[in-house]
Structure 1
């Protein structure tokens, strides 16, 4: 728990301080490579596992002290088992639940900036230590007028350093993701837009209310109330949602019926947002969901929301039509529209990538091709990971010098990958609804 972790009394805020931290971490990573190759001279069969572990430790330690967008990117990458070596994935997963929290004096300073009072003057009780700390901010528990509240405080300097941090993190991302610069830049603008929105807590409160209200009729979901009088650009106060995160809840050995119920609520929540609201809670990591004692699923974070453009929506979701893969002309046009292929490709590249994306669509679309789908089927997920591994190691894929896919797909893909992952953790069998136009 964060309360047991060493607290930070300061956080690098200026561009110079944050750049210095990245440079020192880069030097450590470079030193790790030197040590690895020195050992390899003596032992030619030495694998890279120790190197990955040392680098992951040094990079995560640095990012967790800097906090903000760099740590958020690490969290995003940890959700995809195909992106990172296991050592990085294991370490970066910590960003989903916990990072070293800031000390109480820094929390007080933030409150005084926005409310001219400390938290202990605003609330009847307020925990001096964070009960949860992650990439963008940390959460404290408070009470007032008989209500238990969650108070989320953004780390100092995070909002102002998004753009500069992403520039600094590029060398790490290029090395870890094995991308060229042009390919990475294709998506960086989209990441920057979403991260800037995530640091705007007033926007988060507004979206939280809008989406919560729109989804209020979906069975077995619950949402907190938000309190404007104790919220600002960098602080959000909401109801405390009691319960267990999905991993903890699964350790209580729920029945299959209970797992299916929570899984169905999760599926229905995402289905409604995507197809009715045309915007979606695009941060489906386990820390944002709480299973309550009454059997409902609490949704606690609307910081990352992706608004889905109409033209992208139609092309993207047309791909789940089962018979589309045999309609060559229609599929071809959608592949162009979604930027899977382009006129810059050679005929050989077009043929190869059409085949790759057909294979991916057929596999990833399986849950939509039946009335219900058993996400407890680990074999299905193994197929996905094996396909990803195979494609990423193919010569044609590795030598491609351009990005594949619209930037709008970045967060939608992430959303569905996270949703599938959560449903697999729940071992749930759900009715996989889809809109009428896709039936």
Structure 2
């Protein structure tokens, strides 16, 4: 049962202590487990028990704190498919819950926020309003209601104290970044935290989110592939949008049919490549809770608080790099990496090292349709993050320029969800249609 909270815990010292309890708790349980193994306990059984308890503690704390902590947990959920199977299993249920559940804000606090944001006569704007939230986001919760004109709507209300908590959490999590490798081996969380911090302010103003959603809704109005709910009203800490009834991708991941998995995976991939070209924006919050599959086969998209402006679409240099990798023209690719600051200053990397590093990641575009699986992603990610591998040493020479951080995180997140879906997706067609610089004629124009 979820316990009500008056507001996000604001006091920095208490929030820091809760976050610090995660790695400390993991270390303590590891010590206990080591002692039990010395005493003759079954190693596999003990390790499984410790991992499950670590998962429970991690996502309990992140969900309770909300703010930046919960947002970080949601970002981790996309990486789950890349984590080795023996570590991943205990996290799946907790991660899925974190995408849509957290202790709710009491009705009185919700009413106070609505008074402040929509005016004290806000009830006149609704035919009905359900005080029990239907879902929790990282810095707010969602209520179902009926607008005065009869439309069913979703009302997202920001938690009191979300602004202070979000900033404080991200600062604290930066300090603990290295320790989270204990919880999810093979994941580097620092770039994720850096980007979350950079987008903090715009996500705290729901008017910006509303404007982003209006742009997507206009661009995809009547589109046979995508549905974006229209915005009904907005204020700095409240946004009202049309209600979307569909099956969340988190549910399809768990028990969807093969047809649903393939449809969802293909549309998700196309959405992230097509929207910069069609909207001039990139939806930058790729986790399964933000995407749903409608009965008519369209992909529904919600939560536009995090977007990246791309008025010219995705960078053409990215398409050029992918094309060169697919064609195995690694000498040209290496030169392009140097030219565009993808190699750290003072470091050197050879064509052969780049070839060995990138080959596993180009599998999805070597055939008309690619089967995204956890096993494939674990193998690709595992090689790159194995300290003893040549690929890891290559990775240490590479750099991700700031203007590419959001693009890479979103596209890798999209791939992670496709792997969770176990979906077949036509990546070659999607890139040929939507990625500037990828097709031969576009590539030649860049030379």
- Would you call these one fold, judging by a TM-score over 0.5? yes
Tell me what 2:244 maps to: 241
> Aligned residue for 1:211?
216
1:197: which partner in 2?
202
Given the alignment, which residue of 288, 304, 315 partners 1:302? Answer: 304
Cα 1:381/1:16, change in 2 over 3 Å: closer
CA displacement at 1:28 relative to structure 2? 3.3
The match for 1:134 among 134, 137, 146 is 137
- Cα–Cα, structure 1 residues 113 and 24, in superposed 2: closer, same or farther, change >3 Å? farther
The Cα of 1:6 is off from its aligned counterpart by 2.9
Equivalent in the alignment of 1:390: 383
Give me the whole-angstrom Cα distance separating, in 2, the residues matched to 1:44 and 1:409: 48
Specify every segment of 5 or more residues in structure 2 that has no aligned partner in the other structure, as ranges.
Answer: 440-447
> 1:280-317: CA deviations, max 9, x gaps?
11223222122333443322221221234979812222
Out of 315, 318, 343, the residue aligned to residue 317 of structure 2 is 315
Question: CA 1:226–1:109 in 2, change beyond 3 Å: closer, same or farther?
Answer: same
Paired position in structure 2 for 1:49: 48
What do the CA deviations read for 1:96-118 (whole angstroms, capped 9, x no partner)?
22222222222122223323438
From 151, 156, 163, the equivalent of 1:159 is 163
Return the alpha-carbon distance in structure 2 between the equivalents of residues 30 and 118 of structure 1.
52
Deviations 1:313-348 (A, max 9, x none): 122221221566543442112222555433432x5x
- 1:119 CA displacement: 5.9
Matches of 2:358 and 2:53, distance apart in 1: 38
Change (3 A) 1:170 1:262: closer
Please tell me the root mean square deviation across aligned C-alpha atoms, in Å: 3.5
CA drift at 1:162: 2.7
Distance 2:115 2:298 in 1: 36
User: What is the alpha-carbon distance in structure 2 between the residues aligned to residue 24 and residue 207 of structure 1?
Assistant: 37
Tell me if structure 1 keeps the 8 A contact 2:319–2:437.
Answer: no
Aligned to 2:445: none
How far the C-alpha of 1:403 sits from its partner, in A, is 6.4
Question: Relative to structure 1, is the Cα distance of residues 227 and 13 closer, same or farther in structure 2, using a 3 angstrom cutoff?
Answer: same
Cα-to-partner distance string for 1:40-93 (whole Å, 9 max, x where unaligned): 332486353333222222222211111011111111112112258323454233
Contact 2:277–2:313 (8 Å) recurs in 1: no
In structure 2, do the counterparts of structure 1 residues 185 and 150 end up closer, same or farther at CA, with 3 Å as the change threshold?
closer
Aligned residues: 421
Match of 1:342 in 2: 344
Shift in Å, 1:232: 1.2
Q: Secondary structure at the match of 1:302?
A: coil
Q: Which residue of 2 aligns with 1:71?
A: 70
Q: CA deviation at 1:129?
A: 1.1
* Structure 1 unmatched runs, 5+: none
* 2:103 pairs with 1:103: no
Residues 317, 437 of structure 2: 8 Å contact kept: no
Which residue in 2 is equivalent to 1:332?
A: 334
Q: Contact (CA 8 Å) 1:325, 1:358: kept in 2 or not?
A: no
For 2:378 and 2:275, how far apart are their aligned partners in 1?
A: 27
Q: Is the 8 A contact 2:330 2:355 kept in 1?
A: no
- How far residue 419 of structure 1 moved from its aligned partner, in angstroms, is 3.0
SS in 1 for 2:317: helix
Distance 2:339 2:11 in 1: 41
For residues 300 and 271 of structure 2, what CA distance do their matches in structure 1 show?
A: 11
Alignment partner, residue 227 of structure 1: 232
The one of 268, 273, 276 aligned to 1:274 = 276
Structure 2 equivalent of residue 411 of structure 1: 406
Change in Cα spacing, 1:213 to 1:18, as seen in structure 2 (3 Å) is same
Task: Say whether 1:34 aligns with 2:31.
Answer: yes
Aligned with residue 285 of structure 2, among 280, 283, 287: 283
Other structure's SS at 2:145 match: strand
Please state how far the C-alpha of 1:149 moved relative to its aligned partner. Answer: 0.9
Cα 1:25–1:278 change in 2 (3 A) is same
Contact 2:82 2:374 in 1 (8 A): no
